[in-house]
Structure 1
Amino acid sequence: MLLGLDPLLTGDLLAALDAMGHSDALCLADAHFPADRLANRLLDFPGITTPGLLRAVCTVLPLDDAPAVDLMQSADGEVLPVQHELAAAAGVGLDGVRLVERHDFYDLAGSAYLIVRTGETRTYGNVIVRKGVVPAPAGAER
């Protein structure tokens, strides 16, 4: 463990987040998600909720401009409690997310830099975020 980092942020996850470039996508997926089939790179975080992991990721990953957050649209179009939690964990309101039809979401996830499968058992507990530009530290010369 390191000082100042959420303990959910493992070395493998931090290395992947660091390697991502501007606008690269990260998919955090629930336990039902076909991650093995879709992932170019896959990490497993069983026992962790998707909102909990997203909250930790957002402490080190700046989000890109819109669309910064994609949620998988539920079958009936209702925004579910887990999706409200995901929007809050990303630090955006529901007006800051895009709802994406399930098969279109799979297509987006398949092109993501990384998919992280969580232990989330609530359906539609899936989110895609895009990495923004990491600002230079104050006083850093370029």
Structure 2
Amino acid sequence: MLKHIPKIISPELVKYLMEMGHGDELVIADANFPAHRIGKRVVRCDGHGVPVLLDAILTLLPLDTYSDYQVGLMQVVPGDSTVPVIWDEYKSLLEAYHKDAEIKEFERFEFYQQAERAYLVIQTGESALYGNIILKKGVL
């Protein structure tokens, strides 16, 4: 056991967060995301939703202030009536940890391409549609 590491973050996840460098990205994915097809490294957190993991990760992870964005979301597909209210939770958490975080919305397939380049994909049990989020690691 270590002090100050949220219990929801497994040893495997701590290892990958530590290995990430400046500018590397991680995806916290919802349950529908094709994590194992897209991700080079996948950590499964099936019993948890994205907000609780996002909250825990933001206590540890600096975001890249040198980039034009620090966070990425998947745009709602045109014609889809879904309103991703979960984004409000994400924005609240980001405000608490990184007040000036810039959010970029990626078109669906652009999001998948971005996710393919990510260092890590965390597959959650999140059932909210458009619940995926990309974080770009910064420096301390």
Counterpart CA distance in 2 for 1:121 and 1:105 is 18
Counterpart CA distance in 2 for 1:2 and 1:95 is 28
Is residue 73–residue 79 contact of structure 1 (8 Å, CA) maintained in 2? Answer: no
TM-score, scaled to structure 1: 0.87
Is residue 71–residue 101 contact of structure 2 (8 Å, CA) maintained in 1? Answer: no
Structure 2, unmatched stretches of 5+, are none
1:118 partnered with 2:118:
no
Tell me which of 80, 83, 86 is aligned to 2:84.
Answer: 80
1:68 partnered with 2:74:
no
1-10 vs 33-42, greater mean Cα deviation: 1-10
User: Partner of 2:19 in structure 1?
Assistant: 19
TM-score, scaled to structure 2: 0.88
Which has the higher Rg, Structure 1 or Structure 2?
1
SS of 2:23's partner is coil
User: Partner of 1:7 in structure 2?
Assistant: 7
Per the TM alignment, residue 98 of structure 1 is displaced from its structure 2 partner at its CA by 1.1
1:100 partnered with 2:106:
yes
Is residue 87–residue 94 contact of structure 1 (8 Å, CA) maintained in 2? Answer: no
1:43 partnered with 2:43:
yes
Tell me which of 86, 90, 93 is aligned to 1:89.
Answer: 93
Is residue 16–residue 120 contact of structure 2 (8 Å, CA) maintained in 1? Answer: yes
Per the TM alignment, residue 75 of structure 1 is displaced from its structure 2 partner at its CA by 1.9
Q: Say if 1:122 and 1:15 are closer, same or farther in 2 by CA, change over 3 A.
A: same
Per the TM alignment, residue 88 of structure 1 is displaced from its structure 2 partner at its CA by 2.0
Counterpart CA distance in 1 for 2:47 and 2:86 is 16
The residue type paired with residue 87 of structure 1 is K
The residue type paired with residue 72 of structure 1 is M
Counterpart CA distance in 1 for 2:75 and 2:83 is 8
Q: Say if 1:14 and 1:131 are closer, same or farther in 2 by CA, change over 3 A.
A: same
Is residue 70–residue 101 contact of structure 2 (8 Å, CA) maintained in 1? Answer: no
Q: Say if 1:99 and 1:79 are closer, same or farther in 2 by CA, change over 3 A.
A: farther
Is residue 50–residue 131 contact of structure 2 (8 Å, CA) maintained in 1? Answer: yes
Per the TM alignment, residue 81 of structure 1 is displaced from its structure 2 partner at its CA by 1.1
SS of 1:107's partner is helix
Moved over 6 A (4+): none
